[in-house]
């Protein structure tokens, strides 16, 4: 920022301090952040659709299936080149990265997040990578929200709120569903449902939707009119669909983590690109509906046009007038969408999982309805409604966001008549999935590391603490063969500490000697050469593992041992000590950041 710009900003901040209250300014910023998130989402969508339109020229029509194999690989290669030569930074999954920024970075998100996903996600999805744009939209919006808050020197609590506002704005702009966007921000990002946070979320969500209408018009994501409302007699079928979507959600999560771990074993990004690119190209060649985001699948199924949804296929001899072949192909889309999406990520592509989840749900729900209608038991259900219900069940299960699933589908389809079925399917799917998969794809790794924000303020405060800031390393270390005389002259006399860690030649922690352990022999010179560290040292009350223990684990160790100081071991080596008093002081300071 230039000197003139800094001077203008300083003058504005002084004027703001004198004339605008803090709450009013937060409202203004929430509108601004909502608009910026809306613009970011619009740019993301338009870039993707522009790339897609270039690849749909008549020149390519006769080679469509072959190009389904080639185009995604080209997109992944372009993303690889951009990452390696220009960005040179890791681009994580948008929502997971934002959640990490909230929990461990105090909401200070790097500026490159604004443009990184804005460039790489359209290349990935536009060239046919089987990913969505919601995650990148949240990433762009969150970075805009964070940097706006930093620009105007807002405190940590406001910065976190504006990131939530930006995330709601991205969701509202993407789906034109402002109410669902607020529920999404509260449910996924664990924001407080209080007046102080609800009004900014409302303002951001509405401003983002208005921005989307300005640039994209009144077109909506899903084109459907609910014809059949809730039917009491269909409750058993709704329950069964909830169970089916639950186990499909478990499958989705297991596939995601399994394929992700498979690609992690390859250190070379080029090797990941080669393996993943060939795999995704092969899948798209044989199952063209997996190509790109897949909005067409949802809308065609909702219109009852399953032939257009299935799209062209290299298997020319298939009899698509046979409903069971259609059902098999829809189930194939359900099964392979998760594989294609995760393989795209493994190959280095950038995108989100939100929209692929909707695609899977729509195919599964529609196939489920077709099975019910054709199994010969006299049942007749509305296939469009069950397509929506399938989407709800998958969202509730995969994303662990049942309220977002219910309100999103109800809002984007104006299908409030389906609230009861939506609630039944979402509740069952979420409950069963939660039993088998404790956290969503967004939050699993964060939860394992103890870095997941929740609605528990005390827990959030602990998560936000930086362990390195509470570790003290200025302790005099002792070796086992040192004598009592050496301890007194070289350790006790030269240290203000009252305990001394004992380590071996490899710096492995062996035990501790406290001042009280030697106080009774300090003035007995006859013992100076007779007593060694080995004779005096003893095990400590507990040991903190830097690599594995979360802040919550550390607090529990202090509570269970009753100790005031505990040693820290990092990668098997002695690293330092944490004192309870310093930890509690840091906790109080961090708590003030969340509450003031």
Asked whether residue 453 falls in the same domain as residue 474, the answer is no
Asked whether residue 329 falls in the same domain as residue 468, the answer is no
Name the domain boundary from 458, 488, 521.
Answer: 458
Residue 162 belongs to some domain of the structure = yes
Report pLDDT for 514.
Answer: 84
The CATH number of the domain where 562 resides is what? 3.10.580.10
410-431 confidence digits (pLDDT tens):
888 776 778 889 999 999 999 9
Give the other-Cβ count within 10 Å of 138's Cβ: 35
Report pLDDT for 339.
Answer: 94
Residue 519 gets which letter from DSSP?
A: G
Asked whether residue 204 falls in the same domain as residue 301, the answer is no
Mean pLDDT score across all residues of the chain: 83
Report pLDDT for 427.
Answer: 95
pLDDT average, residue stretch 492-517: 83
Report pLDDT for 224.
Answer: 66
Q: What domain count does the chain have?
A: 3
Residue 58 belongs to some domain of the structure = yes
Give the Cα separation of 5 and 9 in Å (integer).
6
Please report where in the chains the tokens 């964070």 appear, as a residue: 146
254-303 confidence digits (pLDDT tens):
999 999 889 988 888 889 999 988 999 888 888 888 888 877 888 888 88
**Of 516 and 118, which is predicted with more confidence?**
118
Asked whether residue 24 falls in the same domain as residue 117, the answer is yes
What is the percent of the chain where pLDDT is above 90? 24
Asked whether residue 211 falls in the same domain as residue 125, the answer is yes
Q: Do residues 362 and 301 lie in contact, with contact meaning Cβ atoms separated by under 8 Å?
A: yes
95-149 confidence digits (pLDDT tens):
777 777 777 777 788 888 888 888 999 999 988 888 888 889 988 998 899 888 8
Asked whether residue 445 falls in the same domain as residue 479, the answer is no
Name the domain boundary from 458, 480, 514.
Answer: 458
Residue 222 belongs to some domain of the structure = no
pLDDT average, residue stretch 148-167: 86
Q: Do residues 440 and 401 lie in contact, with contact meaning Cβ atoms separated by under 8 Å?
A: yes
Report pLDDT for 594.
Answer: 56
What is the token pair recorded at 345? 């990520």
Asked whether residue 414 falls in the same domain as residue 428, the answer is yes
Asked whether residue 433 falls in the same domain as residue 534, the answer is no
Give the Cα separation of 273 and 76 in Å (integer).
7
| Rounded (to 5) percent helix, strand, coil in the chain | 70, 5, 25
Report pLDDT for 207.
Answer: 94
Residue 497 belongs to some domain of the structure = yes
- Listed range (111-120, 173-182, 184-193, 364-373) with the worst mean pLDDT: 184-193
pLDDT exceeds 80 at position 187: yes
Which of 103-107, 398-402, 458-462 is most confident?
398-402
Residue 227 belongs to some domain of the structure = no
Residue 127 gets which letter from DSSP?
A: T
**Of 9 and 195, which is predicted with more confidence?**
9
Report pLDDT for 335.
Answer: 93
Residue 192 belongs to some domain of the structure = yes
Task: Give the structural domain span for 499.
Answer: 462-595
Q: Do residues 119 and 82 lie in contact, with contact meaning Cβ atoms separated by under 8 Å?
A: yes
Asked whether residue 158 falls in the same domain as residue 286, the answer is no
pLDDT exceeds 90 at position 25: no
pLDDT average, residue stretch 491-511: 83
Asked whether residue 54 falls in the same domain as residue 167, the answer is yes
The CATH number of the domain where 427 resides is what? 1.10.3080.10
Report pLDDT for 160.
Answer: 85
Beta-sheet pairing, 565-570 with 573-579: antiparallel
pLDDT exceeds 60 at position 60: no
Residue 84 gets which letter from DSSP?
A: I
Report pLDDT for 105.
Answer: 74
Report pLDDT for 359.
Answer: 92
Q: Which helix (H) or strand (E) holds 432?
A: helix 419-436
Report pLDDT for 334.
Answer: 93
What is the percent of the chain where pLDDT is above 70? 88
Report pLDDT for 231.
Answer: 75
Residue 10 belongs to some domain of the structure = yes
pLDDT exceeds 60 at position 456: no
Asked whether residue 296 falls in the same domain as residue 444, the answer is yes
Q: Do residues 375 and 413 lie in contact, with contact meaning Cβ atoms separated by under 8 Å?
A: no
Name the domain boundary from 406, 435, 458.
Answer: 458
Alpha carbon distances (Å) from 552 to 70, 88, 284, 556: 49, 34, 45, 6
Residue 225 belongs to some domain of the structure = no
Asked whether residue 449 falls in the same domain as residue 476, the answer is no
pLDDT exceeds 70 at position 380: yes
Give the Cα separation of 554 and 552 in Å (integer).
5
């Amino acid at each position: 920022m230039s000197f003139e710009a800094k001077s203008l900003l300083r003058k504005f901040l002084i004027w703001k301090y004198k004339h605008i209250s803090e709450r009013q300014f937060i409202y203004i910023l929430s509108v601004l952040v909502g608009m910026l998130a809306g613009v970011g989402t619009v740019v993301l969508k338009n870039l993707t659709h522009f790339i897609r339109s270039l690849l749909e020229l008549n020149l390519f029509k006769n080679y469509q299936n072959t190009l389904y194999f080639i185009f995604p690989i080209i997109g992944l290669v372009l993303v690889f080149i951009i990452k390696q030569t220009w960005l040179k930074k890791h681009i994580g999954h948008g929502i997971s990265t934002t959640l990490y920024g909230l929990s461990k970075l105090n909401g200070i998100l790097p500026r490159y997040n604004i443009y990184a996903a804005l460039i790489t996600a359209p290349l990935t999805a536009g060239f046919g990578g089987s990913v969505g744009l919601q995650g990148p939209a949240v990433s762009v919006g969150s970075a805009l929200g964070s940097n706006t808050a930093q620009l105007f020197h807002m405190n940590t609590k406001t910065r976190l709120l504006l990131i939530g506002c930006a995330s709601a704005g991205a969701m509202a702009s993407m789906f034109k569903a402002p109410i669902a966007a607020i529920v999404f921000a509260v449910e996924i990002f664990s924001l407080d449902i209080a007046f102080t946070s609800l009004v900014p979320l409302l303002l951001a969500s509405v401003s983002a939707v208005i921005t989307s209408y300005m640039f994209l018009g009144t077109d909506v994501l899903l084109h459907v009119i609910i014809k059949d409302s809730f039917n009491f007699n269909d409750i058993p079928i709704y329950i069964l669909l909830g169970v089916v979507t639950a186990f499909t959600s478990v499958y989705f999560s297991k596939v995601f983590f399994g394929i992700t771990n498979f690609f992690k074993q390859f250190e070379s990004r080029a090797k990941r690109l080669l393996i993943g690119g060939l795999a995704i190209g092969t899948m798209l060649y044989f199952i063209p509906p997996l190509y790109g985001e897949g909005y067409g699948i949802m809308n065609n199924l909702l219109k009852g046009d399953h032939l257009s949804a299935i799209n062209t296929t290299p298997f020319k001899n298939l009899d698509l007038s046979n409903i069971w072949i259609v059902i098999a192909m829809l189930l194939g889309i359900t099964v392979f969408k998760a594989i294609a999406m995760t393989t795209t990520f493994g190959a280095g592509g950038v995108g989100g999982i939100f929209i692929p989840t909707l695609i899977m749900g729509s195919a599964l729900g529609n196939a489920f309805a077709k099975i019910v209608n054709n199994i010969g038991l006299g049942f007749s259900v509305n296939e469009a409604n069950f397509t929506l219900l399938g989407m709800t069940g998958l969202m509730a299960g995969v994303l662990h966001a049942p309220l977002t699933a219910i309100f999103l589908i109800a809002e984007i389809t104006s299908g409030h008549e389906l609230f009861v079925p939506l609630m039944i399917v979402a509740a069952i799917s979420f409950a069963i999935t939660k039993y088998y998969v404790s956290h969503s794809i967004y939050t699993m790794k964060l939860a394992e590391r103890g870095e997941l924000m929740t609605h528990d303020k005390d827990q959030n405060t602990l998560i936000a603490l930086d362990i390195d800031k509470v570790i003290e390393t200025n302790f005099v270390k002792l070796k086992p063969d040192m004598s009592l005389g050496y301890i007194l002259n070289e350790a006790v006399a030269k240290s203000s500490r009252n305990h001394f860690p004992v380590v071996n030649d490899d710096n492995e922690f062996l035990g501790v000697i406290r001042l009280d352990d030697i106080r009774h022999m300090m003035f007995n010179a006859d013992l100076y050469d007779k007593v060694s560290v080995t004779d005096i040292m003893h095990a400590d009350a507990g040991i903190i593992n830097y690599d594995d223990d979360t802040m919550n684990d550390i607090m529990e160790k202090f509570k269970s041992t009753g100790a005031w100081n505990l040693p820290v071991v990092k990668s098997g080596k002695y690293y330092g000590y944490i004192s309870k008093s310093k930890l509690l002081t840091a906790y109080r300071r961090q708590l003030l950041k969340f509450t003031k």
